[in-house]
Amino acid sequence: MTVSSPSTPKGSVSPRPVIDPDVFGSPEYAANPYPTLKLLRDHYPAYRNPKNGLWMITRYEDVVNGFKDTVNLSASPNGESIGGVFGPTLMEYDGDDHTKLRNIVAPQFVGMKLKTLLPVVTRNAMALISQFTERQAKLIADQASTAGEIDIVDDFATRLPLNVILDVMSLPQEAHEMFHQWYPAMMNGINGGPHLRALGVKANQDYHDYLDPLIDARAKDPGEDLLSRLATARVDGQQMTKAEIKSFASLILVAGAETTDKAIANLWYQLLSNPDQWAAVQANSELLEPAFTEMMRVHPPAAAQMRKAVRDIHLHGETIPAGAYVSLSIYGANRDERVFTEPDRFNIFRDDLFLGREMRGGYQQDGRSGHLGFGLGKHFCAGYQLARAETVIGTKMLMPVIRNPRFKAGTNPGPIAIRIAPWSLKLEFDAA
């Protein structure tokens, strides 16, 4: 038992459950953090973990305010986690330093630029799917099998966003396998222990060594790609240093590939766990748009974002002291029953979720609220539209190829995105 209810003290109206801080490191929490996050929302909306001093904020309103509050909260902890593997990036900067760098990268993924990226997404999805179907047809014929098999993670989800980001940076697709090793290692290094951290730093170094001559070449003879843009960008009249360009390129590789691969797999997992909703999107693939939005609410790829209190913050009768680390829990906020009814249920038809394109400033009107899966405010995800396009277009194209898919016996992984180790989502489907 990790949580117990002590008897009600005299005069007190309702008992507060006791939270055992060991729960946060337990396998139960890794497999399903949501019951504990509900206890925090209901009883400890500003909770300090006595083991490590981390403050956890779990209610929707508070997390929204936390993302928007750049006066009291700094994004500097991103420097210790992400920066520890990639080197410094805009994710750890506050104020003007952040704005300057963001202006280089953010316009590359929205508006007209995004329009030019959509055919890139479609082309890459088509190439992957035709490779896969050829391989499957051969396997099925060789083994006289009536069922095909796909690992949504290894065969598709970890491939498509990577190929798109390689095209965006104009890096050769032939190097795919190398990048496919590097980016999960880099990601695992961010939050992992010393061994994973060392592997992440090594993968990052290999990636930087690979980029080194390419950056020189693009600086001399720039193209239209993102690496050329980084190699030639000027911030306040100054060119970025090579080290800055490389750490920025690390962020783009990992942010572009890692999170979106989980988004694709999570969407398939949620839909196949809810056969009525799978049937609905089969009948009308336009419903993949609200399905993506609902997946980003119920179980998005990023669980929380870390901040540091710049000064004392008073919240729910507690004082978060200056210098304390604060975790803005996206998982906690997105399942807040104060905002979403039946929050644990994946329901693409819900009427309390804002289904339009995500907004940097957030959305809460007309009884609908936006999910917080891309964060909010200054550090709001720069690739949010690309991630949606890849997930929706890729799924739309893959769906007709995978007839009558079902989880392969014994491999249904349960809530999946939390684990940092590689995982898989194996499906069987009817051979044509």
Question: Measured from the CB atom, is 81 or 412 closer to ligand HEM?
Answer: 81
Determine contact, residues 233/104, Cβ cutoff 8 Å.
Answer: yes
Q: Residue 422: what residue type?
A: P
Residue of 250, 331, 342, 325 lying closest to 296 (CA atoms): 331
Token pair for 67: 């993302």
Closest CA to 305 of 259, 264, 267, 347: 259
Select 89 or 136, whichever has its Cβ closest to ligand HEM.
89
Cβ closer to ligand HEM: 39 or 187? Answer: 187
- Residues 376 and 387: their CA atoms lie apart, in Å, by 16
Say which DSSP state 153 is in. I
**Least Å from the CB of residue 129 to ligand HEM:** 20
Nearest to 398 by CA among 50, 146, 132: 132
What does residue 428 show for φ and ψ, rounded to 5 degrees? -105, 150
Contacts with 423 (C-beta within 8 Å, 6 or more apart), sequence order: 153, 413, 416
Where does this chain bind ligand HEM (CB under 6 A)?
75, 78, 90-91, 102, 105, 109, 251-252, 255-256, 259-260, 263, 300-302, 305, 373-375, 379, 381-383, 386-387
366 SS3 class: coil
Q: Which of 91, 227 has the CB closer to ligand HEM?
A: 91
**Residue 39 vs 171, nearer CB to ligand HEM:** 171
Nearer CB in complex with ligand HEM: 208/307: 307
Beta carbon of residue 81, minimum distance to ligand HEM (angstroms, whole number):
10
Q: Minimal distance in Å, beta carbon 391 to ligand HEM?
A: 7
Strand partners, 406: 428
Sequence length of the chain is: 432
Rounded to a whole number of angstroms, the minimum distance from the CB of residue 209 to ligand HEM is 22
For ligand HEM, give the closer residue by CB, 169 or 402. 169
Burial level of 225, CB count in 10 A (0-12/13-18/19+)?
A: middle
In angstroms, give the least distance from the CB of 184 to ligand HEM: 15
Write down the least CB distance from residue 386 to ligand HEM, Å: 5
Cβ neighbours for 404, distance < 8 A, ≥ 6 positions apart? 429, 430
> Which CB, 379 or 426, lies closer to ligand HEM?
379
Q: Which is nearer to ligand HEM, 36 or 247 (CB)?
A: 247
Q: What are the beta bridge partners of residue 327?
A: 56, 306
- The token duo for 337 is 């029953």
| DSSP, residue by residue, 173-213 | GGGHHHHHHHHHHHHHHHHS-HHHHHHHHHHHHHHHHHHHH
In the bound complex, what is the minimum distance in angstroms from residue 341's beta carbon to ligand HEM? 24
Shortest Å, Cβ 45 to ligand HEM: 20
Give the nearest distance from C-beta 169 to ligand HEM in angstroms. 10
Look at residues 211, 209, 229, 210 and name the one whose alpha carbon lies nearest to residue 219.
Answer: 229
Phi–psi pair at 368, nearest 5 degrees: -120, 145
Q: Are 397 and 381 in contact (CB under 8 A)?
A: no
CA separation for the pair 69, 64 (Å, rounded): 9
For ligand HEM, give the closer residue by CB, 188 or 259: 259
Q: How far is it, in rounded angstroms, from Cα 371 to Cα 87?
A: 30
Which residue's Cβ lies closest to ligand HEM? 383
Q: For the CB of residue 190, give the shortest distance to ligand HEM in the complex, in Å.
A: 12
Cα 310 from Cα 325, distance rounded (Å): 10
Least Å from the CB of residue 28 to ligand HEM: 24
